[in-house]
Amino acid sequence: MDNKGSNGREEILELANNLRWEIGVDFHDKLMESIYENAATIAARSVSTPDKEAVFSFDKKLDKILTSPVFGFPIMFVVLAVVFWLTVVGANYPSSFLASILIDEFHPVLKSFSLSIGFPGWLSGLLIDGGYLSMAWVIAVMLPPMAIFFPLFTLLEDFGYLPRVAFNMDNLYKKAGAHGKQALTMAMGFGCNAAGVIASRVIDSPRERLIAIITNNFSLCNGRWPTQILIATIFIGGAVPAYLAGIVSAAAVVGIAVLGVVLSLIVSWTLSKTVLKGEASAFSLELPPYRPPRILQTLYTSLIDRTLIVLWRAVVFAFPAGLVIWLVANVNIGGESIASVFINWSDPFAILLGLNGVILLAYIIAIPANEIVIPTILMLTVLVTGLTDFGHGTGVMFEANSTEVTAEILKAGGWTLLTGVNLMIFSLLHNPCSTTLLTIFKETRSVKWTVVSALLPLALGFTVTFFVAQIWRLIAGF
């Protein structure tokens, strides 16, 4: 390019720059406004809309009921309760069916097959008792509830009800520095935290979205409900007269879930006032018109998008974790398994928290899914106590045939009422499972926020269990 040309360009650029001082700050807005104005004029001339008043007035009537001060919240609680009830009850049958096939039937078959083709014992133990069993367990307990919960939830979303819930809940969430739609991602988290984190995409404001992602773990997920119910039945139900046992243990589980919701609001508030203070925030919430849900499409997308993606991530982690679980129980250092070494080493710290080393180790190695925490705890307890009447061998996870047997094993492991209570608290307040962590990373693309999401609940869990344990012991006097 010749000299004159480049000079000319620079002159123009400089003139443009100087003119920008003159046109002032409103220039972008003015431009946008004029585009809208033009678009509106053109549209008014050439677009005709059919009369939709009838549909619209139906929407209006329905909205009046669903957001009314009298019926709004009761309707919301009933709808959500029905969804959860359907999930819990409906998932039982397919879950036990899958478990009987994958664990009771297929596992022994695989085992004898591997022996018949000459696998050494350690290899079949590692791959089949470790990797396969853990994977099978995750599929059996995770798949059915997700396959019921997600389509139901998506149907409600498709119908247009969920945005109204967010609309009603926004006032509460605004006070916590969060977005009304966090009510939805939280509800989704009750099904599965990883899906709750994915669902946070509906929140389009960056700060509120991060808050929803980080606090989703405080929703007691599907994988943790069985743990809560089991422990509450054994320890809390067992501590009160028999005729009260059912109601008291149920109240304890609900109490933990409510504690989770309250903590999620408190943590949201704290985050929005401290580390996330500077993140951009832009609120808006569209209330789409009601429309009949597209059932087949909903089934398809919720199965593919939500259920299978989450399940796949869980399975990918479950296999290697199963290997690790088997290895820590079977590899010996100086005559003791790695598991015992770790449990003995961490016991003093764990007891300070009102827990024990078995629980800590179980939460570390059962990171792929909360569902396998209890089988891992049982296996480890049998391992360290040297009980011989239970389980299927070293490093093989199992679930006891009845609550009584589970209680017997845990009490043999030195569990008290305090251990039970603190396990329930710790089950609510600990790092999210690896599937959720991976999902958080994929959604935020940030190591920093993934680490915060992992450590924040863990720190809270340690703190709460520590103080509960100390105060408990102080009052109990030992």
Partner 1 sequence: MIDPLTSLIIGFSVILLLVIIFYPGKGLVARFKKNKANTYRVLIEDSLKHLYNCEYNGINCTLNSIAGSLSISADEAAKVAAKLEELGLVVSNENGLSLTPDGRAYALKVIRIHRLWEKYLADETSIGEEDWHHSAEEIEHQMTLAEADKLAAQIGNPVFDPHGDPIPTAKGDLPGKKGKSLDSMKIGEFAKIIHIEDEPHYIYSQLVAEGLYPGMQVQLIESTKERIKFLANGEEVVLAPLFAKNITVAPIKDERKIEGTFKKLSSLKPGEKGKVLGISRRCRGQQRRRLMDLGVVPGTEIEVELESIGGDPIAYRIKGATIALRKSQAENIYIESEE
* Residues contributing to the site for partner 1 (CB under 8 A): 17-18, 20-21, 24-26, 29, 32-33, 36-37, 40, 60, 63-64, 67-69, 72-73, 167-168, 170-172, 174, 180, 204-207, 274, 277-289, 348, 351-352, 463, 466-467, 469-471, 473-474
- Looking at beta carbons only, is 18 or 388 nearer to partner 1? 18
- Looking at beta carbons only, is 4 or 60 nearer to partner 1? 60
C-alpha distances in angstroms, 340 versus 27, 370, 426? 70, 22, 21
Least separation in angstroms between CB 59 and partner 1:
8
- Looking at beta carbons only, is 8 or 289 nearer to partner 1? 289
What's 145-157 look like in SS3? HHHHHHHHHHHHH
Per DSSP, what are the bridge partners of residue 333?
336
Least separation in angstroms between CB 29 and partner 1:
7
Dihedral sign, CA of 418, 420, 421, 427? Answer: positive
- Looking at beta carbons only, is 37 or 404 nearer to partner 1? 37
* Amino acid identity at 119: F
Could you tell me if 151 and 281 are in contact, meaning their C-beta atoms sit under 8 angstroms apart? no
Could you tell me if 178 and 206 are in contact, meaning their C-beta atoms sit under 8 angstroms apart? no
Could you tell me if 461 and 260 are in contact, meaning their C-beta atoms sit under 8 angstroms apart? no
Pair of tokens at residue 108: 């022994």
- Looking at beta carbons only, is 112 or 470 nearer to partner 1? 470
3-state secondary structure of 337: strand
Q: How many CB atoms lie within 10 A of CB 229?
A: 18
- Looking at beta carbons only, is 9 or 64 nearer to partner 1? 64
- Looking at beta carbons only, is 1 or 44 nearer to partner 1? 44
Least separation in angstroms between CB 56 and partner 1:
10
Least separation in angstroms between CB 221 and partner 1:
27
Least separation in angstroms between CB 478 and partner 1:
9
Least separation in angstroms between CB 55 and partner 1:
13
Pair of tokens at residue 259: 């504690």
Pair of tokens at residue 45: 């001339």
Measure the CA–CA gap between 384 and 362, rounded to whole angstroms.
13
Measure the CA–CA gap between 435 and 321, rounded to whole angstroms.
12
Least separation in angstroms between CB 144 and partner 1:
35
Measure the CA–CA gap between 48 and 33, rounded to whole angstroms.
23
| Local structure of residue 105 (DSSP, 8 states) | I
Residue keyed to tokens 């808006």? 284
- Looking at beta carbons only, is 116 or 284 nearer to partner 1? 284
Least separation in angstroms between CB 301 and partner 1:
23
